[in-house]
Structure 1
Amino acid sequence: MATYIDWRLRGPGVDLCNCAFGCPCQFNAQPTHGKCEAAVGFHIVEGHFGDTSLADLHVACTFAWPGPIHEGQGQCQAFIDERASEMQRQALLTILCGQEQEPTAFFAIFASTVTTLHEPQFVPVEVRTDRAALTASIRVPGAIDGRVEPIRNPMDGSPHRAKVVLPEGFEFAEADCASASFNTAGAIALDYVGTNAMLYDLHMGPSGIIRA
C-alpha cells in the first residue's frame, strides 16, 4: 500500500462550468454541449502539507476538455496565490497534480484526464463565496473574472434554491447550485454567461474527501 505525505485542505470552493444548471456530469451523463470547460477556485481556510501550512491561500484553475472529462485530453492552467512561499507553491502544485493522493481520489482523478499542463502562474488570486446568498467570485487580474449569482425564477426574479447531494461524491457530498458568468484569458480562453455554478465546502486529503 502506498504511503502519502500527510496533507489537508479545508475551505469554500466554487466550480464554474459551461454546462446547464446542475451539470450532467454530476449524474454520470454527457456534458450539455459535448465538451467540458471550467474555472474553479477555493480559499484554504485550514490546510497543511506535511509541516508546511497552507492556511489562508487562494487557488484557481482553468480547464478545457474536448469531450467528456473521463475521455481525457484535457488542458489545465493553475493560478496560485502570489503570497505563497516557494514551499507552499510546490506543495499546492503537488496536490493539484494528484501526486500525493490515492488514484481513486479527486485531484488524482482529474490529473489523470489532463494531457496539457500549462505553466502555473503565481499571481494575485481571490476566491470569495457566500452560500447563504448563493454568490461567489473568482478574481485573477487579467486571467479570470468569474461571478456567481442565484438562479432566478423566470416569473418573478426571486432566487431559486437547489442542491446536488452526492453521498458517494469524490469532490463534494453536497453543493448549492447557482448561475455562473465567467471569462478567462491566458492559456485557456473561455467566455460564458448564465451557466452552471456549484458552491461547496472543500475538505480533502490523501484518501479523498474527509467526511468526519
Structure 2
Amino acid sequence: MTAPSWVLNGIEYGNCNCDYGCPCQFNGRPSSADGSCRYATFTQIYEGRYGDVNLDGLRFAWIGGWSGPVHEGGGEILTFIDARADDRQRNALQRIVLNEDTEELKTHYAVFCAMCTTIHEPIYALIEMVVDMETRVAHAEVPGIVVSDVEPVRNPVTGKEHRAQIVLPEGFASTLMETASGTVKATDRVKLDFTNTFAGIARLHMTDQGIVRHQ
C-alpha cells in the first residue's frame, strides 16, 4: 500500500552543544568540549497534513545525540508529540518524525533516524513554544522534562546583539537559518545540559519528498 503524502509548513529551532556557528553545518566535526553532538529541536506547524489528516497548529519536539559526528551513527532520539493531537494526528506526526513514510534520506528526520541505534517510545505531552525568527528569541518547554531558551548572540565586550545567518542553498533541513545563543536542560531518558551554545531558527517547509525550496 502506498504511504500517504504529507506536508509541513511552519517554523522550527534547534539548539546543540556546539560553539556558535556549529561546524556540522559545514561538514565539520562537532566543536563541543567532548566532541559529542547533543541537541534539542522544537517545531511549530502553521499548516500541515498527512494524507487527509489535518495537522494545523500542532507541535512536536525531539532531543537526543551522538557520541561524535552524526554521520558516525550510534545515536539516540526521544520525541515529544503534542498532547492536543487526537489519535490520528498523533500517529501522523509520529510517522513523519520517525521516518516511516518518507523517501529515503530526503529529510533531516530521515537522516537523523538512520543514524540512531536507540529510538525511544514517543512521549505525548503538552509542548509550550514561542519563537520569533526576526528577533532570534524563543522559548520551549515540555513541563518537567525539557526546557529551552534562545536569545541573540551578543558582543562579549559591548553586549550589543550580533546577527548572523547561515545560508544553505542545498540544505536538507532549511536554506536559511538565523543563528542565536541557546540554553537547554533535559532530564528523563535523554539528558541535556548546555548554556550559551549554538542555536538556529529556520522556516520549515517539508514534504515526504524533501524540502521545498523558495527562491
TM range (shorter): over 0.9
Unpaired runs of 5+ residues, structure 2, are: none
Check if 1:125 corresponds to 2:124: no
Residues 72-103 of structure 1: CA deviation (Å, up to 9, x unaligned): 11111111110011111111111111121111
Q: Which residue of 151, 163, 174 corresponds with 1:172? A: 174
Distance 1:104 1:75 in 2: 17
Does the CA-based 8 Å contact 1:149-1:180 persist in structure 2? Answer: yes
SS at match of 1:196: strand
Find the counterpart in structure 2 of residue 115 from structure 1: 117
Q: Check if 1:67 corresponds to 2:46.
A: no
2-structure distance, mates of 1:97, 1:119: 10
For residue 158 of structure 2, give the secondary structure of its aligned residue in structure 1: coil
Q: Aligned residue for 1:46? A: 47
User: Match of 1:18?
Assistant: 17
Alpha-carbon distance, 1:3 to partner? 5.4
Deviation at 1:4, TM superposition (A): 4.3
Residue 159 (structure 1) aligned with residue 143 (structure 2): no
Please say if residues 38 and 62 of structure 1, whose CA atoms lie closer than 8 Å, have aligned partners that are also in contact. Answer: yes
Q: Could you list the per-position Cα deviations for residues 98-131 of structure 1 after superposition, in whole angstroms to 9, with x for gaps in the alignment?
A: 1211112122111101111112111110222111
User: Is the partner of 1:122 in helix, strand or coil?
Assistant: strand
- Which 4+ residue blocks in structure 1 deviate beyond 3 angstroms? none
Aligned residues: 211
User: What is the rounded CA distance, in whole Å, between the counterparts of 2:100 and 2:75 in structure 1?
Assistant: 17
Residues 148-194 of structure 1: per-residue CA shift (max 9 Å, x gap):
00000112111100000000000000000000011001110110001
Question: Is the 1:60–1:138 contact (alpha carbons within 8 Å) kept by the matching residues of 2?
Answer: no
- Give identity over the alignment, percent: 40
Alignment root-mean-square deviation, CA: 1.2
CA distance in 1 between counterparts of 2:163 and 2:132 reads 13
CA distance in 2, matches of 1:4, 1:202: 22
TM-score (norm 2): 0.95
- Flag structure 1 segments of 5+ consecutive residues without an equivalent: none
What CA distance in whole angstroms lies between the structure 1 residues aligned with 2:51 and 2:167?
31
Instruction: Determine if the alignment matches structure 1 residue 76 to structure 2 residue 86.
Output: no
1: CA distance, partners of 2:156 / 2:102:
43
Aligned to 2:206: 204
Find the aligned partners of 2:113 and 2:120 in 1 and give their Cα distance: 13
Corresponding residue for residue 9 of structure 1: 8
SS in 2 for 1:45: strand
How big is the shift at 1:66? 1.1
Aligned to 1:147: 149
- 8 Å CA contact retained: 1:11, 1:44: yes
